[in-house]
Amino acid sequence: MQLLSRRVLLKTAVSCALLQSAATGSVRAARPTQTEPPLVIAHRGCSALRPEHTLEAYAKAIEDGADFIEPDLVVTRDGQLVARHENNLADSTDVAIKPQFASRRCVKIIDGERREGWFAEDFTLEELRSLRTRERFVDMRQESRRYDGLFGICTLEEIVDLVEAKAKSHQRIIGLAPEFKHSSYFQGLGLALEPLLLAQIETSAYLRRCPLILQSFEIKNLQQLRERLSTLPNVQLMQLIGDPRRRPWDAEARGADTSYGDMLSPRGLAAVAEYADYVAPPARVLIPLDAEQRLGEPSGIVETAHTAGLLVGTWTFRPENRFLPADFRDGGAPEARNELGSVAEMQRYLALGIDALFTDDPGLGNIARAGRHDMRLRHGPAGAMIEPFRRWPIPPR
């Protein structure tokens, strides 16, 4: 991928707007200015209020004003891309109570870790259709748990159809941020995710014109995608960053020493900028917690990444006390929703100048981004939360 100085810069107001193609076919987004709103990306849909990775969770996220929805992608035995946070179905579906699938419980080594359960790649799409989703946090998220057993597993094609319909009805751009899960693992099974997504982009008019941010915790697949997608003006790539002490699995598998922490050094970020548009570390890497579990001093990674020409995303903001820094807990039970605390936490990170945030509750993300403290908006009309983005037209056909 060419360096920033040789790329075509983003010509619309924010980084998710459609890019313009250069004569050479090389494209790249510039960092938004401080007056431009950062993106609110719905983590697994509105997963704080609906079972994750269901059409209903994505629809709720869009109603609450998410700029992008995030479908994590795994693959079935018959080569269909479906949305699951991981290929193990045990925690997010009712597969354990289906006697016809009892014999498929097994142990696998995935990305170097032992995992036990039922795995998407051992099921056909038709078989997965018989499963129902459920809330994975069994001791919290009461509203989401009300929907246990009601919704099914959805395909990427169904997600795209939903997003396209919602974009038309809301008259605004809605992007997708698919994440490739366990890329090297699936490639080793002969079920590589990336070619399947590329094939869907090729056949889907909406995927060829809507904003797409493709994510991975691995490196090699993003580097290869940069080569394959350099002529598509609507695609950006996001390098996800895991535990700084660990290595990306594809690097570890080939014996490379590069850790996620190395990738966040000035030299490492410059290398990431050669193939990616975004870098996305965990929130606690951008602002670590101190000994009292309060937010400490910022790490400076946002500024360093911007200097390298990278946009910065971060993950994941959740509205329950259990997940909040001590600064923002309200004294309620760990599993209790704390909307004011969640908004305040996100605003602390937005003040760093991040370009995108992943949240389980995009309605609260919109409030945080707008600087609003009137929590009545949380239950008000969705239009009140998405008004700043009505200037974005739906993509042309």
| DSSP symbols for 326-380 | GGG--SS-TTSB-HHHHHHHHHHHHTTT-SEEEES-HHHHHHHHHT---GGGGGS
Do the beta carbons of residue 39 and residue 68 sit within 8 Å?
yes
> Which of these is catalytic: 43, 53, 170, 182?
43
| DSSP symbols for 271-335 | HHTTT-SEEE-BHHHHS-B-TTSSB----SHHHHHHHTT-EEEEEEE--BGGGS-GGG--SS-TT
Integer Cα distance of 329 and 374 in angstroms: 18
Integer Cα distance of 138 and 73 in angstroms: 23
> According to the model, what pLDDT value does residue 372 have?
57
Q: Is the dihedral of CA 75, 76, 81, 83 positive or negative?
A: negative
> Which of these is catalytic: 53, 85, 170, 182?
85
> According to the model, what pLDDT value does residue 389 have?
29
Sketch the domain layout of the chain as residue ranges: 4-85+153-389
Closest CA to 305 of 267, 357, 349, 356: 267
> According to the model, what pLDDT value does residue 66 have?
97
> According to the model, what pLDDT value does residue 286 have?
98
* Residue reference for tokens 């036990």: 116
Alpha carbon of residue 16 to chain centroid: 14
**Is 53 in the active site?**
no
If you count DSSP H runs as helices and E runs as strands, how many of each does the chain have, helices first?
15, 13
Integer Cα distance of 389 and 36 in angstroms: 11
> According to the model, what pLDDT value does residue 37 have?
87
The pTM of this model reads 0.87
The CATH superfamily holding the domain 4-85+153-389 is Phosphatidylinositol (PI) phosphodiesterase (3.20.20.190)
SS3 assignment, position 113:
strand
Do the beta carbons of residue 12 and residue 211 sit within 8 Å?
no
Q: Which residues of 360-392 are buried (b: 16+ CB within 10 A; e: fewer)?
A: bbbbbbbbbbbebeeeebbeeebebbbeebeeb
Integer Cα distance of 154 and 163 in angstroms: 13
Both tokens assigned to 329: 């807990």
Do the beta carbons of residue 365 and residue 317 sit within 8 Å?
yes
Integer Cα distance of 260 and 263 in angstroms: 5
Integer Cα distance of 69 and 158 in angstroms: 13
The CA dihedral of 98, 99, 104, 107, to the nearest 10 degrees, is: 80
Show the low-confidence residues of the chain (pLDDT under 70).
1-35, 372-397
Integer Cα distance of 77 and 190 in angstroms: 10
Q: Which residues of 319-350 are buried (b: 16+ CB within 10 A; e: fewer)?
A: bbbebbbeebbeeeeeebbbbebbbbbbbbbb
DSSP 8-state class, residue 387? G
